[in-house]
Copies of this chain bind each other. A is one copy, B any other.
Amino acid sequence: MIDPPSLEKMIAEFSSLPGIGRKTARRLAYHLLTRSRGRIKPFCESLKEADEKIKTCSVCHAFTEEDPCPLCASREHAKTLCIVEKSSDILPFENAGIHRGLYHVLGGTLSPLDGVGPEELHIPGLIERIRKLNLQEVILALGSSPEAESTALLIDRLLQDLPVKRTRLARGIPMGSDLEFIDEITMLRAFEGRISL
């Protein structure tokens, strides 16, 4: 009632973002309207531009503007491939500089109750991709949730007849945390401590 309707709507939109409560949403909306009116248009344009330009790489399924993505295009002769859950999980590897190979983004983990099976995660395509590439090693870099564990288990089984070394990240990763937010040292330890399956 006190905030005008259009401001109320703007606050509701901010509140719908993860980790943004109502008070924070209100603070952001008032900030934009008070101090950053000039930022509203560029802000919206950046969102729209990303919405239009960002697609997923048809090879590795990472977010990209070009298809294939720059990583797939520049590392086609790489000998290692790292399997991650989501596109945003690639950054910590690249930041730590520990993997100069290929990636494959599953887009989630197996979750039969939500209708997420191997097909939804492009797992058959992944196996096909690995079969065609001349790889030395496939690194399973999934999280530590039960769903991620069973996804890794399935991929490991599907790969066991192929002449490629399978590894997974060492248990340096603390339970329940998101790969996306792991600091570089922890990521390095986990990568160095990877073990044969």
Contacts and interface: CB of A to CB of B under 8 A. Distances in A.
A58 B26 CA distance: 23
A50 B27 contact: no
B18 A31 contact: yes
Interface stretch (A82-90, A115-123, A144-152): A82-90
Give the number of times this chain occurs in the complex, counting copies: 2
Interface residues of A, number: 57
Interface stretch (A39-47, A135-143, A157-165, A166-174): A39-47
A33 interface: yes
A52 to B, nearest CB: 8
A17 B28 contact: yes
A196 interface: no
Interface of A: 1-7, 9-10, 12-13, 16-20, 23-24, 26-34, 36-37, 39-44, 46-54, 63-65, 71, 86-88, 90-91, 94-95, 180-181
